[in-house]
Structure 1
Amino acid sequence: MSVQSKVLITGASSGIGSVYADRFAQRGYHLILVARDTNRLDKISKDLQEKYGVQVEFIQADLSNDQDIRKIEDVLKNDADIEILVNNAGIALNGNFLTQDRNEIEKLLTLNMTAVVRLSHAMSQSLIRKGKGAIINLGSVLGLAPEFGSTIYGASKSFIQFFSQGLHLELKDHGVHVQAVLPSATKTEIWERSGIDLSQVPPLMDVNDLVDAALIGFDRKETITIPVLKDENQWNNFEQSRLCTRQISQNPYPIRILLS
């Protein structure tokens, strides 16, 4: 990290994003905070500058909006001091797929997926030129579990996992690290905003604990970090099972027909 190194964090006005801002400021990074709520961003910025003596700037942006995505893309392309991108902004929806509004579904897909891809693409170009840096993408354990019924949100987070793993393979030889963090249910405002009744939800993880655990994984250069995972062998076994499909994909014969 140089004395000018910056971290750009989306969804930084509350919850996971604001804790990431605190932790990276504590590490001496300057910050660019992105969110819709300028009042909150202004307060967080002043608090972090006073607490840690770092430079903090903020940008109002709604990353479900194409014009605002372009605005942040330009920042990532033109500010060579940005070394880490945290793609945290996201939303969830209440109800099941058949009852959800189509416009709200499109908004979720844009914010949870399209914005992540576009900002990561803009950031990757800059990091490759520098030969260092990192991208952190916030996924969810729901992306591993369609049986929980969160079809659209879970699918968007499954995409984040796949995208992050693939991007890691493309960027690792350029000195760039990519991490996907897969939290379990965490106590943030996303529940209230999506209209979900918290009384119907099991106990939630504390957001500070989540980010601290995620940063342990980040420091270890993990590609996938699941803060609640007690036994790493469970994930290793999952990955080994997945890797078996590579062999299947190279088989030109329809085995089911041949066996019938």
Structure 2
Amino acid sequence: MTMNDKKGTAVVTGASAGIGKIYARRLAKRGYDLVLVARRENLLDEVASSVRAEFGVKVQTLVADLAIAADLDNVENLFASDDSITLLVNNAGTSTLGSLTAVKQSEVDAMTGLNIGALVRLSLAALRKFNEKDSGTIINIGSVLGFHTLPISSIYSGTKGFVNNFTRGLQDEVAGTNVKVQLVLPAATATDIWELSGVPLSALDPTSVMEAEQMVDAALAGLDQGETITLPSVEDVQLFADYDAARLKLLEASQNGKSASRYLSAR
């Protein structure tokens, strides 16, 4: 049995550039065959050719715009038809940054459809397959903006907040099985999503921006270490532990059938 047989096939969405492209290269180096999904065919073919030549793995490409129902169907069907798939990287996403009055409805629909709708459908398609085999890995790319919003990021932050909570729910569902679900929460990362969003990278403090290679390497190191939630740029992991403990404490405090005393004066 070859290394590729052992690893199986990884499906990577948004694989034509940026984070997805780096995941494709890193997973191929680890011995995975690949199905690379993106809407930009010329860039996708370049990535596939480069990976085949350098790593000698099987690379299939699937040109798909995951905001289009028929294209999303084609990608979803992969999980039912290909038993070799063992890993999904849900990386495809889009962002338009601007005030709510300036963002077009079509841009809002694109963000919610791709960042939420496509990710959910592919996660569940993979989960059904992996549950059958009691084996497999789902990696969902969220964002630290799932914890926070800016005046120009209300929609994007909302979609990433959904990804954060949805993925944590998946993790609870697979607890006690051999299926792994990792939530990756990068901060600013140097990819073309910034130019596409309307905010150029040059507008950011360069010391706050991580290279895509470093981000993916940190995320995969976190996966290897058994992390379910990986914050590639956060040095002090206790910060997240404290945040999560406070979140649970607040949830526990909300389980009360009486209104808080500060509201009683309204009677």
TM-score scaled to structure 2, two decimals? Answer: 0.93
Q: Name which of structure 1's ranges 226-235 and 95-104 shifts more when overlaid on structure 2.
A: 95-104
Q: Name which of structure 1's ranges 43-52 and 80-89 shifts more when overlaid on structure 2.
A: 43-52
- Aligned residues of 1:33 and 1:59 also touching (Cα < 8 A): yes
Change (3 A) 1:113 1:79: same
Distance 2:177 2:86 in 1: 13
1:35 equivalent to 2:38? Answer: yes
Aligned residue type for 2:11: L
RMSD: 1.5
1:73 equivalent to 2:73? Answer: no
1:247 aligned to which of 244, 249, 252: 252
1:202 equivalent to 2:188? Answer: no
Matches within 5 A, 1:1-260: 2-3=5-6, 5-147=8-150, 149-203=152-206, 204-256=209-261, 260=265
Aligned residue type for 2:57: V
Distance 1:258 1:190 in 2: 45
Q: What displacement does 1:235 show?
A: 0.3
Distance 2:264 2:170 in 1: 38
Aligned residue type for 1:78: S
Q: What displacement does 1:255 show?
A: 1.8
Change (3 A) 1:190 1:147: closer
Distance 2:246 2:6 in 1: 44
Structure 1 residues 144-179: Cα deviation after superposition (integer angstroms, max 9, x where no partner): 112464111011111111111110010132311111
- Aligned residues of 1:16 and 1:88 also touching (Cα < 8 A): yes
Distance 1:28 1:184 in 2: 28
Consecutive unaligned residues in structure 1, runs of 5 or more: none
Distance 1:36 1:51 in 2: 23
| Local SS of the residue matching 2:175 | helix
Consecutive unaligned residues in structure 2, runs of 5 or more: none
| Local SS of the residue matching 2:35 | strand
Distance 2:180 2:25 in 1: 21
Percent identical residues:
41
- Aligned residues of 2:67 and 2:113 also touching (Cα < 8 A): yes
- Aligned residues of 2:185 and 2:230 also touching (Cα < 8 A): yes
Q: What displacement does 1:143 show?
A: 1.2
- Aligned residues of 1:142 and 1:148 also touching (Cα < 8 A): no
Distance 2:149 2:6 in 1: 44
Distance 2:151 2:86 in 1: 36
Runs of 4+ in structure 1 off by over 2 angstroms are: 1-4, 256-260
| Local SS of the residue matching 1:92 | coil
Structure 1 residues 9-38: Cα deviation after superposition (integer angstroms, max 9, x where no partner): 000000000000000000000000000111
Aligned residue type for 2:186: P
Give the length in aligned residue pairs: 260
